[in-house]
Amino acid sequence: MKAIRLVGVSINAIFKHKMRAFLIILAIVVGIATLTVIVALTQGMNKQIIERIQNFGPDAIVVHSGGGKIRGPSTAAEASITRKDISDIENIEGVKLVTSFQVALDMAIKYGNKFTTSWVWGVESNWKDAWRRGASKGEFITDSDNEQLSKVCVIGQTAAKELFGDANPIRENILIENVSFHVVGILEKRGLSPVGTDFDNLVVIPFTTASRRLMNQPLYISTARVIVYNPTDLEPVAKRIKEVLRENHHLAAIEEDDFRLSTPGEISEMVKSTSKTLKLFLWLVAVISPLVGGIVLMNIMLMAVSERKREIGLRRAVGAKKKHIVVQFLAESIMFTFTGGIIGVGAGIVIAFLINLSGKPISITWQPFAIAFLFSTFIGLFFGIYPAKKAAMLDPASALSQK
């Protein structure tokens, strides 16, 4: 009951000093809004990374020909993987399926007088199972296409848009590096890769056609995608693939790999490391700005204490204990920061949505609310305790005699 009366005193004081309340709350709102926006943005970034990794496939290992640290798919020109490598990988325990494909980057594609460049992948029919991505319209590449070295293609939606606009590309013929291909289907949409390239700017053709007619690479395979039964087996399977390939390629212990493996874990590490510095900076801003709000609070509260000395003296004279004065001023601080926290989260969410309109990913979850409430209460306590103690420690007799 007494606590309620004391909090009532604080509420009255807030309403009696509206300008002061406005300034403190504004400072806290700015701080908490910044925090909320940054939480929403970094969580949006994380969500995007996770989505892209989902695009890549959480149960997939990609085996690239050629060593080194270069990222992205290997092209047919650096192909070093053999048919035997693929069948050995298929026999590794835990492997569900392996699909081989030839990759050529930035091939010239023409339709009538329209021209674009796109990735061209030579694929086997099980490519669609390995990527969980087939034709959204028309047919996909079949085994018989591969046997007959058919000149058919399935076109990705970005490439289709470039060449055909809104018209239906199926049953049209396009030229890939001046070789004519018959469009039999449109690929399902997939979006961006983990490193941000467009997975829809792609034309797929039969593996054999790519190897012999387009890329002149009949013996080797540029890339293979390995799907495991259980995502937890990824690391041991990747290790085993490495051993098998090194043995098949007769690599001595001192020689480097002439292939590369990409796993979802490795990709997420790579993506995360590039955004690490930015995130660190953002978090720094996120933490500092509410602290600045706290300093403003402390400043104004200290001023309030010295302005209200006479009031404090009077309250002490009519029976307020030191702890009552502490409670009064601390409750004022916490109410300021709490109100600022609530408004700040609201403002932050609005700002985050505005940023989202410009295309940046955001994610609004319960965390910004929890963080804002905890942080603002903490700031109220931390920065409010000193002015409150100072008010309580005033000598009542001299406080009363203040003019």
Partner 1 sequence: MIEFKDVTKSFQSGSIRTDVLNGLTFKVEKGEFAAIMAPSGTGKTTLLNILGCLMKVSSGSYLFEGIDIETLNDDNLSEIRNKEIGFVFQTFNLLERTSALDNVLLPLIYANTYPADAKQRAIQLLESVGLEERIYYKPSELSGGQQQKVAIARALINDPSIILADEPTGNLDSESSKEVMNIFKTLHRQGRMIVVVTHDINIARNAGRIIFLKEGKVEKTEVLA
Residues 359-398 close enough to bind partner 1 by CB under 8 A: 396-397
CB of 390 to partner 1, least distance (A): 16
Q: Is 352 in the site for partner 1 (CB under 8 A)?
A: no
245 or 305, CB closer to partner 1?
305
Binding region for partner 1 (CB under 8 A) out of 48-56, 119-127, 199-207, 319-327: 319-327
Stretch touching partner 1 by CB under 8 A, among 4-12, 138-146, 229-237, 353-361: 4-12
Q: How far is the CB of 29 from partner 1 (least distance, A)?
A: 25
Binding status of residue 16 toward partner 1 by CB under 8 A? yes
Task: Kindly state whether residue 9 participates in binding partner 1, applying the rule CB under 8 A.
Answer: yes
Q: Which is closer to partner 1, CB of 18 or CB of 69?
A: 18
Figure out which of the listed residues 117, 144, 148, 401 binds partner 1, where binding follows CB under 8 A.
Answer: 401
Q: Is 309 near partner 1 (CB under 8 A)? A: no
Residue 203's beta-bridge partner residues? 120, 155
Determine if 18 is a binding residue for partner 1 (CB under 8 A).
Answer: no
**Least gap, CB of 386 to partner 1 (angstroms):** 20
Angle between helix 264-307 and 309-317 (nearest 10): 70
Q: By CB under 8 A, is residue 11 in contact with partner 1?
A: no
Of the residues 133, 213, 309, 315, which one makes contact with partner 1 according to CB under 8 A: 315
54 touches partner 1 (CB under 8 A): no
Judged by CB, which is closer to partner 1: 91, or 401? 401
Hey, what are 141's tokens? 């590449």
Candidate residues 171, 318, 357, 359; the one interacting with partner 1 per rule CB under 8 A? 318
Which residues 6+ apart lie within 8 Å of 375 measured at CB? Answer: 32, 35, 290, 341
**Listed residue (312, 350, 345, 346) closest to 328, CA to CA:** 312
The only residue of 85, 200, 311, 332 in contact with partner 1, by rule CB under 8 A:
311
**Least distance from C-beta 322 to partner 1, angstroms?**
6
Q: Give yes or no for residue 2 binding partner 1 (CB under 8 A).
A: yes
Closest CB 389 distance from partner 1, rounded Å: 14
Per CB under 8 A, 310 contacts partner 1? yes
Q: What angle do CA 118, 122, 123 make, to 5 degrees?
A: 125
**For partner 1, the closer CB: 12 or 91:** 12
Q: Which of 105, 292, 314, 381 binds partner 1 (CB under 8 A)?
A: 314
The minimum distance between CB 330 and partner 1, in angstroms, equals: 16
Q: How far apart are the first and last CA of the chain?
A: 33
Q: Angle at Cα 115 formed by Cα 112 and Cα 119, nearest 5°?
A: 125
* Contact with partner 1 (CB under 8 A) among 41, 320, 379, 391: 320
Residue 248, burial from CB neighbour count under 10 angstroms (0-12, 13-18, 19+): middle
Which member of 179, 288, 317, 374 binds partner 1 (CB under 8 A)? 317
With contacts defined by CB under 8 A, name the span among 7-15, 46-54, 127-135, 363-371 that binds partner 1.
Answer: 7-15
Per CB under 8 A, contacts with partner 1 among 322-351 are: 322-324
In the complex, what is the shortest distance from the CB of residue 43 to partner 1, in angstroms, rounded to a whole number?
A: 45
Q: Which residues would be at the binding site for partner 1 (CB under 8 A)?
A: 1-2, 5-6, 8-9, 12, 16, 310-311, 314-324, 396-397, 400-401
